[in-house]
Amino acid sequence: MIWYLIRRILMLVPVFLAVSVVIFSILHFIPGDPIDNLLKVGSSPQARVAMEARYGLDKPLPVQYGIWLSKVLQGDLGTAIVARRPVAELIAQALPHSLRLGGLALLFSTVVGVGLGVIAALSRDRWPDRAIMGGVLIGSTMPSFWLGLIFMLIFSVSLGWFPVSGARGWSSLVLPVLTIGLGGTALVARITRVSMIEASGRDFVTLLHAKGLSPLRIQLRHVLRHALIPVVTILALRIGWVLGGAVTVEVVFARPGLGTLLIKSLSQHDYPVVQACLLMLAMAVMLGTLLGDILQAVMDPRVRAALA
């Protein structure tokens, strides 16, 4: 087991390097540069050259990449060119907000998704199943920024239940969590349903029925436990996705966080900040995948046996 862990972690190294190259180059291939946002009317063309040199933007791209990567590996994310603050500080301010929002959205989609999935599986092919699966499909296909605005119009403008935007208190979290969580709910509900239906057809279930256990007890105590293995894996994979999905929702709801920081820095071409934000999101996905694999290994005796 321990070797499996080490192997999985080592495998992340080349992935990390590849991701870092992609992040760095994508940004530098987009037209535009941060200096345009800094230059003031009246400053001389020489000022531009001097500024490029000051931020190291005059060096060839591979050299810039090398400098950036070696600093990142030492834990130094650099200083924001436009925002003028240490990037680590900007990230440290933003990350807790995104984690809270993402964590709650994940919790919401887990609880509601599993619940709906179980109901759908128990009432397979009858109307509750169809209603849930239909509703979930619609919910998951709506773009989140649009869904966010619709929620705002219904719950804030018409009903006045929640604040329109901002990050003051728990009530301001409800709509963003709903907006992000709904997409995940659909996925979790579908997987729970399918894997419960699949598990219901297994031999051990027939045996349990033969032993005379009540069908509901069989479903909830035994079938659900089996069915949850893929659900847990999917949830771990979604850790990174939830953070990424929060990007547009944070902007729509004017909340602080990685997304707001990313979008703002992107429009200013503030390379060090954008790189750090993307790196955080990529690492969340990588760690989520790692966690998913480990959880699966721990929970599934077959995988455990294969590793032993």
Chain residues that interact with another protein, rule: CB under 8 A? 30-33, 36-45, 47, 51, 80, 82-85, 90, 93, 149, 152-153, 156-157, 160, 163-167, 251-254, 256, 260-261, 263-264, 266-269
Nearest residue (CB) to another protein, 8 versus 28:
28
DSSP state of 86: B
Nearest residue (CB) to another protein, 94 versus 239:
94
Nearest approach in angstroms of CB 83 to another protein is 4
List Cα–Cα distances, 110 to 70, 82, 157, in angstroms. 39, 39, 28
Nearest residue (CB) to another protein, 257 versus 288:
257
Q: Which two tokens stand for residue 20?
A: 């870092």
Residue with tokens 């301010």: 93
Nearest approach in angstroms of CB 295 to another protein is 35
The whole-angstrom separation of Cα 235 and Cα 249 is 20
Q: What region, left, alpha or beta, does residue 75 occupy, with left being phi > 0 and alpha being psi -120 to 50 degrees?
A: left
Closest CA to 180 of 106, 121, 92: 106
Nearest residue (CB) to another protein, 187 versus 247:
247
Nearest approach in angstroms of CB 275 to another protein is 16
Nearest approach in angstroms of CB 185 to another protein is 24
The whole-angstrom separation of Cα 180 and Cα 242 is 7
Cα dihedral 99, 102, 105, 106, rounded to 10, equals -90
Nearest approach in angstroms of CB 80 to another protein is 7
DSSP 290-302: HHHHHHHHHH-HH
Nearest approach in angstroms of CB 159 to another protein is 10
Question: Which residue stretches of 201-257 are H helix?
Answer: 203-211, 215-217, 224-252
Nearest approach in angstroms of CB 66 to another protein is 24
The whole-angstrom separation of Cα 296 and Cα 306 is 12
- Show Cβ contacts of residue 12 under 8 Å, excluding neighbours closer than 6 positions: 286, 290
Instruction: Count CB neighbours of 247 within 10 A.
Output: 23
Nearest approach in angstroms of CB 47 to another protein is 7
The whole-angstrom separation of Cα 78 and Cα 272 is 6
